[in-house]
Chains A and B, each alone.
Chain A
């Protein structure tokens, strides 16, 4: 029965024609399938965003001595909270820090991920080394940021660190990795360590989709391995690189777990070391939800502008190449 009815459309029907054959289906069905997702989306994504935007425009007015239930009322604040956030002496330094952090982490992490992916791909035949390296480099993705920071934190402590031992073995005074000058690099290292493997797998997966015969013909034409990587492989993985870049950018703007975990080990990390740490301090230490909301909105807007801007800028060029 079903064989007879499906045989005809399989060869002739266009998607539009198949869609027209669907009147038996109730019109509400797709909405029923979407309902749980949409309800949760509204409750845990849309509503918090709207609520944060609303709170960022409000403030508390204290009347009289500030005692009693009625003396504190919430009133319209306009852009006061934003002005306060932007002029907070802790805000700009935290933004500068995270900007520098991003400049260190994103290119290093994606550069290493691309390098390792290309080497793994070139080494497709050497099974044992490739497999060992692939699993080892990917492994940190399985380690939560808190645990990774904790492990590196101990490795940074002069009294435990094999890094110190290595420096002393060759007669150089080891750098203090958690000193004021180096903390940013120490945190950046944790992010590079944790993120390289995942991005490597993304790029490697894209490379694996390319038929080997394409490289063979290039090789017969006399192209070197480096030329093949540069002229064929990198253009092929460009869409993956763009996506990993955007996701890394988003991750950079929300650095929180790593510095929070390192804080007990390093007195060089302040409570407003990153913008998100400042949001946390404002909301829970100072009980200033309005300032926290305003800073959150600023960070969210920055994320959107950066990621959309980048996608528009590079996306267009990447798509033009296909024509």
Chain B
């Protein structure tokens, strides 16, 4: 290993990486500073000069229509948390079945799911809306939750993880020891797939948290909005009353804190190998 450390370190490489980091951090730095400014200062003081009004802005944001903002945050946590948890379990079951069982129709099912990976989710939003409208489920929590339960990409990943991390001998042993299929799944298979399933969960959590078009179409009542649709609405109001912009900027800052915190704590799970399936198949 000493050969590696003896390699010449290139200042050019370091500079390019730091420039990339600066570009990516610029908007985050800006929102940190801008949310400390009063609405008068936002458009009048030097952009990158911080001020002292962060707590006033937070109080104003909380006061907006009896804490509607915090309701949006709670809704987002609900949509993303429940949606990702359910979709992870459903993907794990399906991926396990596809990886570890032989049954008629297996390759058809898998090919259909693979095609599903390539279907742009956003395009489905309008027909999904029309179908849910027929059964009277639009403008409810279910309208956003149910479509997030199915993730073809999650199933595809779960199949790879099940094939890689669940040895067939262990399944045989579990059966010979008298455990039923479901007991084997919950007590033996799920724990073995844990690391992979965290990745599936994170993927789906971020996808739902970032989703805009589906809830934008499905929901009319702003008390059901997730944060993305809520902030979009606030920004639209800001076009008429610029004082709202302070709330928009502070709201944007608060909304990215939980995801960034989650990123930093769960970093080691973000080892994404999109092509792994292609190699294995």
Name A residues whose Cβ lies closer than 8 Å to a Cβ of B.
1-2, 5-6, 9-10, 15, 18-19, 21, 24-27, 29-34, 36-38, 40-41, 43-45, 47-49, 51-52, 55, 112, 115-116, 119-120, 122-126, 129-130, 132-133, 135-148, 150-155, 159-162, 165, 193, 196-198, 201-202, 205-206, 208-209, 212, 216, 219, 225, 239-240, 242-244, 246-247, 250-251, 253-254, 256-257, 260-261, 264-265, 276, 279-280, 283-284, 289, 292-293, 296, 299-300, 303-304, 307-308
Contact = CB atoms under 8 A, between A and B. Distances in A.
Given A5-B172, A45-B119, A162-B48, A40 B252 contact: no
B150 A139 contact: no
B160 interface: no
A151 B130 contact: no
A129 B275 contact: no
A206 B275 contact: yes
Contacts of B274: 202, 240, 243-244, 247
B30 interface: yes
B256 A41 contact: no
B127 interface: yes
B173 A6 contact: yes
Nearest to B28: A139
Contacts of A15: 168
Interface of B: 1, 3-5, 7, 9-10, 13-14, 16-18, 20-28, 30-31, 34, 42-43, 46-48, 90-91, 93-94, 96-98, 101-103, 106, 109, 112-113, 116, 118-124, 126-128, 130-131, 146-147, 149-150, 152, 155, 168-169, 172-173, 175-177, 181, 185, 206, 209-210, 212-213, 216-217, 227-229, 231-232, 235-236, 238-239, 245, 248-249, 252, 255-256, 259-260, 262-264, 267, 270-275, 278-279
Instruction: List the 5 shortest-distance A-B pairs measured between CB atoms, nearest first.
Output: A48-B127, A136-B21, A239-B275, A33-B97, A37-B94
Contacts of B239: 264-265
A122 B14 CA distance: 10
A261 B232 contact: yes
Contact of B126 (A161, A205, A279): A279
Contacts of A165: 46-47
Contacts of B31: 151
B163 to A, nearest CB: 11
Contact of B30 (A51, A155, A239): A155
Nearest to A240: B275
A299 B125 CA distance: 13
A116 B20 contact: yes
A138 B17 CA distance: 12
Contacts of A122: 10, 13
A284 B130 CA distance: 11
Given A31-B103, A146-B228, A48 B252 contact: no
Given A25-B181, A136-B25, A206-B273, A44 B212 contact: no
B33 to A, nearest CB: 10
A29 B212 CA distance: 37
Contacts of B18: 129, 133
